[in-house]
Structure 1
Amino acid sequence: MHAAKRPRTDDSPSLNITRSDIWFDDGNIIVQAETTQFRLYKGALCASSAILKEAVENLGESKGVEGCPILFLSDSSEDLGCLLHVMFYPWSYPADEPIHFSVLAAFLRLGRKYEIKPLYEKALARFTAVFPSSVDDYLNADLKNKLVRRDPDTSRRGEVAVDAIVLGRELGIVSVLPAAFWCASMYPQYLATPSTRSLTDDDRDIILRTTTPLQVAYSTYLFDWLDEAVVPSPSCTQGPSCTQAKTQLSLKLWKPNNSMWRLRWLPWCVEGLCRSCAALGKKHHHEGVERLWKELPSFFNLPEWEEILALC
C-alpha cells in the first residue's frame, strides 16, 4: 500500500494551511494531511516505515515550502498528528497510562497502513486487553484502570464500547466485537447520543434488539441456582434459613431482571447461605458465565468464537 500523493499546481484554490506544533525549523521535508503541515526529517520518516520511505523517495528534489518538498498524505490530520507525536515524542503516550480512544484508533489505522509493526502490535494488544476474546481475560482485566478513554475528562465505558465496535468493523478486528457489543448493551442510553453517529443502523438495531434477551440469558444462566426447583441443594445445613436467603437474593439478582451485568463473582451473591449452598451457587454461577460467554457472539449475529479466533 502506498501513501497517497497529489500534485500542487499554481492555479490551485487558496487553502488555509495550518502549521502543526510538530515543526522542526531545520527539517527537510513537509508532510501535509488535509490542511495541516508538519515539518520533519526525511531520515527519521524513512526509518519509520518502508512505505513512507518509498513515498519520500518518489518526491525527487522538488521544492515546496521553505525549500522543502511536500509529501501529501490522504490521512486525517488528527491521525497523522498522533502518529508523528509518538514517532518524535515517544514519551507523549506512556505505556502504563490510559490513552484517548482516538489515539488508539490512529495507531491501529496508520500502524497497519504504513506497516509500522511495533506501533500496530502494541495498540492491538491494548485494544484486545480492553475487549478480550477470553472470558478469563475479561474477568481478570483491571477494567477500572482504563487502558483507553473516550475524552480527556471521563472514562465512559459505554461510549468506548461503541467506538470499539465501529473501529473493529472498520479494521476487521473481529475478536473485540463480542465483548464490545456486550459492554455497549449495558449502556443503551449512549446509542441516542451524538457520539454514536458513526455506529451503523444495523449494529445499533442489533444492540437494541439484543438487550432484553441477553439480560434474560444473563440472569438465568448465572442465577437460576437460586430456585431450588431448578438446582436443589441436598446437602444444605440450614434448611429454611437458606431457602429464605435464596428468596431474598433472587429478588436482587434474578427476579426481576436487573441491570447489574457483572460476570465477576461477588461474595455477597451468597450472603446468608450455608457453606454448602454457597459453594453450589458459586459453581453454577461459574458454569453460567462460561455458557453465556460461549454463546455471546450468537446474540449479535457474529460467527462462533472458533471462527472468530481463526480470523485473528
Structure 2
Amino acid sequence: MSASRVSRKRARTASEHLEDDQPQNVDDGEIKGKLAGDEPQDVEVESLPLIRDADFWLDDGTVILVAGNVEFRVYGGILAHHSPVLKGLFSRPETTRLLTFNGHDQSAMSCPVVHLSDSPEDIRELLRAYMPRDAASMYHPEVPSFDAVSASIRLGHKYEIVSLYDQSLEFLRRHFPSNFDDFGQFDQWVPAGWDMEEAIGVVNLASLIGEHLLLPVALLVCTTLGDHIVRGYERANGTQEHLTIDDQALVIKARMEIRKARVAALFSTLCPSPAKTCKTVSDCRSALRKAVYSLHSTIDDWLGDKDDPFNTYQEYIKGRKLELCHVCEVMVNARADAESQKLWNRLPLLLGIQVPGWPGGAPAPPEETGPAQRIR
C-alpha cells in the first residue's frame, strides 16, 4: 500500500536559527551498490523456462537479449548505434540462433543471443526508450515513471548510453532542484504520477551515482512519509525499495529539526514589530499579536508530518489574511521570503548532510562526483 499523494503549496515561508553546531567533516562514502541494475531473484533463473516478451519480440528483430528468463528480439542496430558496450556484445555473442524472418518459413536469419545480468523490467524500460510500441506525441511528452528514470540512469551508465543517462538525470535535477525559486514552481512534492514513497528510490539513486544535489529535496519528501520511511515500498518488479538504516535514522532526526525551524520561521515572520514607516502602529502591532496567538488553532498543521515547511504563513492564521496597513504587509511578506530562503540555505544542515555546491553553503570542489556526506 502506498501513502496518498500530497500536494504542496507554492514556496514562501522559512525558518529561524536552529543550532550553532557546525557539521563535522567526514570521509566521502563509497558509491553504494552497482550500477548494473541486478535484482535478487527469488527463484533460480536456470530452473524457469524461457518466455518471449509480449511487447518486444519482433519477427524481424536482429538480436535476442535474454534477461532473467525473458527473451527480447529487437533491432540490434538501433541499440548498437547508441551503446558502444552493447555493440561490442552483439559482435561477440556467446551463441546464435537460427530464426525465421518475419514469420516466413522459407527465410531464416542467424540472430546473436546475448545474456544480460539486468532485470527484465529494466531492459523493457530501455527498449521502450528506443523502440516505443505506442504512438508518441512530439508535443506532449508523458512524465516518465520512477522505474523508467531509474533504469535509464543505471543502464545508461552501464552500457554507456550517454544521451539516455543525461536526459534522465536532467529530469531528476529539474524535479528535485537545488535552486529555491525552481522548487517553488512545483505544486507537488514529486513528479506527476509518482507516489510519495518513490522519493526513497531517488535518495538511493542519488547516493548511488553521487548526485548529492538531489538529496536535500528527496530527503525532505521522505520526512513526510511517516512509518513508510521504515517499511519502504514494493516496486513493480516485486523488489522492496527502502532507505538504509543510517538514512532512516537521519530522516527521523531531521523531522524534528525541520519542525523546530518551521516554528522559528512562523514566529519570526509574525513578530509584532510594525514597519518603521507605519502610520497605524498600534493597530498593526495588535494584528500581528493576534496572528501569533491564533497559531495554536493550526498547530496540528504546522507540526504535522506532512506539513510543507515552505508553506505561506497565511496558511496558519485565522482568515488567512492579516489586517495590516500596506507598508506592514509588504514588510511581513519580505520577512517570510527571507525566512524561506534562510531555511532553504540551511536545509542540508537540518537534514544532517553536507552538500557541496548547495546555495548558501560550501562551494562544490572541482570535478566533485562523490556522494553527499552524512554528518556524524
Q: Normalising by the residue count of structure 1, what TM-score does the alignment of the two structures yield?
A: 0.82
For residue 35 of structure 1, what is the aligned residue in structure 2? Answer: 69
Q: 1:308 to 1:15 in 2, by over 3 A?
A: farther
For residue 204 of structure 2, what is the aligned residue in structure 1? Answer: 166
Q: How much is the aligned-residue C-alpha RMSD, in angstroms?
A: 3.1
Judging by fraction of residues, say which structure has more helix. 1
* SS of residue paired to 2:52: strand
- 211, 236, 239: which one aligns with 2:281: 239
What CA distance in whole angstroms lies between the structure 1 residues aligned with 2:46 and 2:277? 83
For residue 77 of structure 1, what is the aligned residue in structure 2? Answer: 120
- 124, 143, 149: which one aligns with 1:104: 149
For structure 1, list consecutive stretches of 5 or more residues without a partner in the other structure: 5-11, 151-155
The reply on whether 1:128 has 2:173 as its aligned counterpart is yes
Trace 1:1-312 onto structure 2 (pairs within 5 A).
13-20=46-53, 21-59=55-93, 62-64=95-97, 66=99, 67-89=110-132, 96-140=141-185, 142-144=186-188, 147-150=191-194, 156-157=195-196, 159-195=197-233, 197-221=241-265, 223-228=267-272, 231=273, 233-250=275-292, 251-252=294-295, 256=299, 257-259=302-304, 260-263=307-310, 265=312, 271-306=322-357, 309-310=364-365, 311=368
What CA distance in whole angstroms lies between the structure 2 residues aligned with 1:303 and 1:254? 36
CA distances 1:98-118 after superposition (whole Å, capped 9, x unpaired) = 222111111111122212122
CA contact (8 A) 2:200 2:241 kept: no
Offset, 1:138 = 0.8
CA contact (8 A) 1:3 1:74 kept: yes
What CA distance in whole angstroms lies between the structure 1 residues aligned with 2:263 and 2:61? 61
Q: 1:34 to 1:308 in 2, by over 3 A?
A: farther
CA contact (8 A) 1:97 1:147 kept: no
What CA distance in whole angstroms lies between the structure 2 residues aligned with 1:304 and 1:125? 18
What CA distance in whole angstroms lies between the structure 1 residues aligned with 2:323 and 2:162? 53
- State the identity %: 25
Q: Which amino acid aligns with 2:221?
A: C
Q: Identify which range, 196-205 or 97-106, moves more after superposition.
A: 196-205
What CA distance in whole angstroms lies between the structure 1 residues aligned with 2:263 and 2:297? 5
Q: Which amino acid aligns with 1:46?
A: A
Q: Normalising by the residue count of structure 2, what TM-score does the alignment of the two structures yield?
A: 0.69
Q: 1:295 to 1:253 in 2, by over 3 A?
A: farther
For structure 2, list consecutive stretches of 5 or more residues without a partner in the other structure: 1-33, 38-44, 100-109, 234-239, 370-376
What CA distance in whole angstroms lies between the structure 1 residues aligned with 2:265 and 2:227? 25
For residue 8 of structure 1, what is the aligned residue in structure 2? Answer: none
* SS of residue paired to 2:346: helix
What CA distance in whole angstroms lies between the structure 1 residues aligned with 2:83 and 2:36? 11
Judging by fraction of residues, say which structure has more strand. 2
For residue 25 of structure 2, what is the aligned residue in structure 1? Answer: none
* SS of residue paired to 1:149: coil
